[in-house]
Amino acid sequence: MKSLLIIVTIAASSLMSFSVLGQKQKLTLKGQTFELHNVTGSIIEFEGKKVLKIERDLKALPFDVNNIEKTVDEPHYARLVGLEDFENGTIEVKMYSQIQNPPPYPGVAGFIGVYFRIKEDDSAFESIYVRPKVGRVNNQLFRNHAVQYISYPHAKFDTLRKSYPPGSYEGSAPVALKEWIKMRIEVNGETAEMFINDMKYSSFIVDKMLGKNKIGGVGLYVDIGTIGYFKDLKVTKGQLKKKSTSEKIDDI
């Protein structure tokens, strides 16, 4: 059963606007408005196209190198205004990641991705993001950390690594810094699947998402030390057709 309820697209032409004093800053492109949550941002021309540029605001939400688990994977993102009821469907976006110079700490990996099912007060959301710095390194262990799923606030990256078998909520993907990455996330009930650069098969599957909040907003995410550029965001709401397979999966 096909369901196509809403499609929103970043257009090339843009108009920048700011909210009144005391409220969150908003940036508007034709057809879309983004509200900045603990990030700084602007609409700029980048490689000949108008894009949304954001960086984490360390004044609004400080980072502690001695307490990384508590100060990353937080509500630092640009929220798409007017879309508050995303439950199932597809999120597509093109994104480009580079590291600030100098980086604020050695572990910066160009963190960039998507938040979804965001609760109105930012108290809960799901996310899939990438670490482009390690996507193509000559070390398989590092490559296996190129993609990350989290569920805020109780299942951030370090908690998942400690509480679940290796690779349960991380994986590899052919991504890199300073190049455009097209990410498509298909959300369906408790599962999510990520496709990179129009590849036929997904690079990453979340078998069971951990969040209790099942419906909410959509946002674009960067974390510590990352300059992120985004364009061509498209969100399609609706239940996806379940994929079937005739193969029996046994323990390996």
Q: Could you read off the pLDDT tens digit of each residue along the chain, which spans 252 residues?
A: 444 444 444 333 344 444 444 589 999 876 899 999 999 999 999 999 999 999 999 999 999 999 999 999 999 999 999 999 999 999 999 999 999 999 998 999 999 999 999 999 999 999 999 999 999 999 999 999 999 999 999 999 999 999 999 999 999 999 999 999 999 999 999 999 999 999 999 999 999 999 999 999 999 999 999 999 999 999 999 988 776 554 544 554
**Measured distance CA(164)–CA(151) in Å, rounded:** 14
**Measured distance CA(27)–CA(43) in Å, rounded:** 7
**DSSP secondary structure, 81-129, as one string:** TT---B-SEEEEEEEEEEE-SS-SSTT----EEEEEEE-TTSS-EEEEE
CA separation (Å) from 51 to 41, 222, 233?
Answer: 10, 15, 10
> Amino acid identity, residue 239?
Q
Q: Among candidates 224, 250, 174, 241, which has minimal Cα distance to 54?
A: 224
| Max Cα distance, the chain (Å) | 58
Residue 158: its pLDDT value, please?
A: 95
Beta bridge partners of 43: 52
Domains of the chain: 14-237 (2.60.120.560)
